[in-house]
Structure 1
Amino acid sequence: MKKILIVFMFLAASAGFAQEGVKVEGNKITVKESAPVWPGCEDSNETKKCFNAKLMQHIRENYKYPKNDDGDFIRGKAVVKLEIDESGEVVVKAVEGDNPKVNQAAESMIKKIPKMKPGTRGGKPASIKYTIPLTL
Structure 2
Amino acid sequence: MKKLLLIASLVVGGLTSVQAQQTSPVWPGCEDSEDLKACFNQKLSQHVRENYEYPQTEDGDYVRGKVKISFTITEEGKAVVKKVEGSEPKVNAAAREMIEKIPDMEPGTLNGEPDDRNFTVPFNF
Q: TM-score, normalised by structure 1?
A: 0.80
Q: SS at 1:42's partner residue?
A: coil
Is 1:37 matched up with 2:26?
A: yes
Cα RMSD, aligned residues only: 1.0
Please give the alpha-carbon distance, in whole angstroms, between the structure 2 residues aligned to 1:86 and 1:41: 18
Deviation, 1:96, is 0.6
Is 1:28 matched up with 2:15?
A: yes
Where does residue 64 of structure 2 map in the other structure?
A: 75
Where does residue 110 of structure 1 map in the other structure?
A: 99
Count of residues paired in the alignment: 112
- In structure 1, the gaps of 5 or more residues are 1-24
Q: Could you tell me which amino acid in structure 1 is paired with residue 80 of structure 2?
A: V
Where does residue 131 of structure 1 map in the other structure?
A: 120
Higher fraction of helix: 2
Please give the alpha-carbon distance, in whole angstroms, between the structure 1 residues aligned to 2:74 and 2:84: 18
Deviation per residue, 1:40-66 (Å, 9 max, x gap) = 000111111111000000000100000
- In structure 2, the gaps of 5 or more residues are 1-10
Q: Which has the larger radius of gyration?
A: 1
Please give the alpha-carbon distance, in whole angstroms, between the structure 1 residues aligned to 2:124 and 2:65: 6
Deviation per residue, 1:105-133 (Å, 9 max, x gap) = 00000000000000001110000000011
Where does residue 101 of structure 1 map in the other structure?
A: 90
Q: Could you tell me which amino acid in structure 1 is paired with residue 60 of structure 2?
A: G
Q: Could you tell me which amino acid in structure 2 is paired with residue 107 of structure 1?
A: R
Is 1:119 matched up with 2:108?
A: yes
Deviation, 1:28, is 1.6
The runs of at least 4 aligned residues of structure 1 exceeding 4 Å deviation read none
